[in-house]
Amino acid sequence: MDSRDWIRDGVRAVAGGLLAVPLAVVNLPLFLFFVVGLVLTPVFGIGLLVLPLVTLLIRARADAARRLAAGRGVAISRPYRPRPEKAVFGGVGYYRWLITDPATWRDFAWLVPGTVIGLVLAVFTLALPVYGAEGILLIPLWIWLGTDSYGYGMIWPIETLGEGFLSLPQGALILAIGIAAAPYLRRADALFNRLFLAPTRAAELRLRVSQLTVTRADTVDAQAAELRRIERDLHDGAQARLVALGMTIGLAEEIVDADPATARKLLAEARETSSAALVELRHLVRGIHPPVLAERGLEGAVRALAMALPTPTEVTASLPGRLDTPVESAAYFAVAEALANAARHGGARNTAVDLWHTGDSLFMRISDDGRGGADPSGGTGLRGIERRLAAFDGTMSLSSPPGGPTVVTMELPCALSSPKTSPSSGTG
């Protein structure tokens, strides 16, 4: 981090401290209204309206705290249960949904300590920079104007003009310390909030289960569709051709003595049929699992793919080992789809593929200099990539401003297996 970043980060943190004061104060009325709503529920049933309303406000407040924490590098996911379909605002179901969610009570428990800690940390965040700024700005001015019995920093009271100006370097130092400390104080606040606002282990697992249910269903659907396609291709293609082949050869066998010339013609026809069947099988195999992927792994297969593309495509890769076969396949098809998309819609003159692996994730970046403006929700191609990756908890992000360039970045959590053992070492 160079000094500009350091100052920018510090100033932003001080501003965050300023914002934290009103936010902390808002917690108290929310706390009171929640108690009132709770008390009023058995009395007039007014609580059925008041309590959900207050709860939603508290959640909005907690979400704000989560967003601020995220800005400090502390990720806090939302712990709330999804709303039951039939529950409507003001109804008993809605009330029960909120009241039975442990996250509601954890939010409530957070309000008061959140205020106290929030205010204390905000005061710490602000005090040093404010005092430092005072040293820089005010004291020399006051001395100039002839105020007595006042001091600053280590000099107290200030008696001469010279001493007065000494407060300037002291102020600068204190301001610098304050700005340096502010990000850590904000982070401390975020960490404290996480204790209350993050999902409990149980809630986290519940969220994970519902997410896995969705991706599993998607994966199973996609696989079933894929198998149906393969079955149809085999049935209408290679299988039918083999039947025709058998018939042609059988016929040639029948007439070979009586009419050798026709038999010869039939055999030539049979040979053509067999090569057509092979072409079809080859295309099919390429679609299931490209042979070059099995032989060379992701890097080699992407290089082979790039060589077959009409637009010049530069591949840079640093993958020290092979990936697991299913992950490798998903990664390959995701890259292939992204490249096909770039060629189809982007009007690109050049494309580039970057592959790299950090400790626990594979990253794939496909960029092109086309006209941009790709819509992540629009194309089925991009949706398909997302679905492929989701099966392995992978994600995709797209940046495509109008006029380009378009950059698709995909991340796939996975480990690399032992450094290249099988391929390209069989030469001995």
Partner 1 sequence: MRVVLAEDLALLRDGLTRLLEAFEFQVVASVDNGPSLLPALLEHKPDVAVVDVRLPPTFTDEGLQAAIAARQRVPGLPVLVLSQHVEPLYARELLTDRAGGVGYLLKDRVANVAQFVDAVRRVAGGGTAMDPEVVSQLLARHQPPLAALTGREREVLGLMAEGRSNGAIATKLFIGEKAVSKHISSIFTKLGLPPSDDDHRRVLAVLAYLDV
Q: Which residues bind partner 1 (CB under 8 A)?
A: 271, 274-275, 278-279, 282, 285-286, 291-292, 294-296, 300, 303-304, 307-310, 422-428
| 112: DSSP letter | H
Min dist CB 303 to partner 1, Å, is 6
Tokens (6 digits) for 67: 């967003």
Dihedral sign, Cα of residue 17, residue 22, residue 25, residue 27: negative
What is the number of alpha carbons within 13 Å of residue 76 lying toward its C-beta? 28
* Closer residue to partner 1, CB minimum distance, 186 or 241: 241
Min dist CB 307 to partner 1, Å, is 5
User: What residue type is 108 in one-letter code?
Assistant: F
Residue with tokens 């092109």: 368
Helix axes 47-71, 92-99, angle to 10 degrees: 40
Min dist CB 315 to partner 1, Å, is 11
Angle at 199 between CA 198 and CA 204, to 5 degrees: 140
Tokens (6 digits) for 198: 């993050």
Min dist CB 309 to partner 1, Å, is 7
* Closer residue to partner 1, CB minimum distance, 296 or 345: 296
Nearest CA among 376, 374, 377, 413 for reference residue 392: 413
* Closer residue to partner 1, CB minimum distance, 274 or 399: 274
| Whether the bond into 157 is cis, omega within 30 of 0 | yes
* Closer residue to partner 1, CB minimum distance, 403 or 426: 426
Query: What's CA 336's distance to the chain center, in Å?
Result: 21
* Closer residue to partner 1, CB minimum distance, 149 or 425: 425
Neighbours of 115 (CB within 10 A): 18
Min dist CB 428 to partner 1, Å, is 6
* Closer residue to partner 1, CB minimum distance, 377 or 425: 425
* Closer residue to partner 1, CB minimum distance, 243 or 285: 285
Min dist CB 310 to partner 1, Å, is 6
Q: What residues contact residue 245 under an 8 Å CB cut-off, 6+ apart? A: 270, 273, 274, 277
Q: What residues contact residue 52 under an 8 Å CB cut-off, 6+ apart? A: 89, 90, 94, 95, 98
410: which strand partners? 364, 396
Find the DSSP H helices in 72-101.
92-99
Helix or strand run (H / E) with residue 357:
strand 351-357
Q: What residues contact residue 151 under an 8 Å CB cut-off, 6+ apart? A: 157, 158
Min dist CB 269 to partner 1, Å, is 12
Min dist CB 306 to partner 1, Å, is 9
Min dist CB 238 to partner 1, Å, is 13
* Closer residue to partner 1, CB minimum distance, 56 or 278: 278
CB 170 within 8 A of CB 153: yes
Min dist CB 304 to partner 1, Å, is 4
* Closer residue to partner 1, CB minimum distance, 359 or 426: 426
Alpha-carbon separation of residue 95 from 52, 79, 98, 108, 117 (angstroms): 6, 17, 5, 15, 30
Q: What is the largest CA-CA distance in the chain?
A: 131
* Closer residue to partner 1, CB minimum distance, 90 or 326: 326
Q: What residues contact residue 33 under an 8 Å CB cut-off, 6+ apart? A: 50, 54, 57
Tell me the backbone φ, ψ of residue 350, rounded to 5 degrees.
Answer: -135, 140
Min dist CB 363 to partner 1, Å, is 23
* Closer residue to partner 1, CB minimum distance, 104 or 273: 273
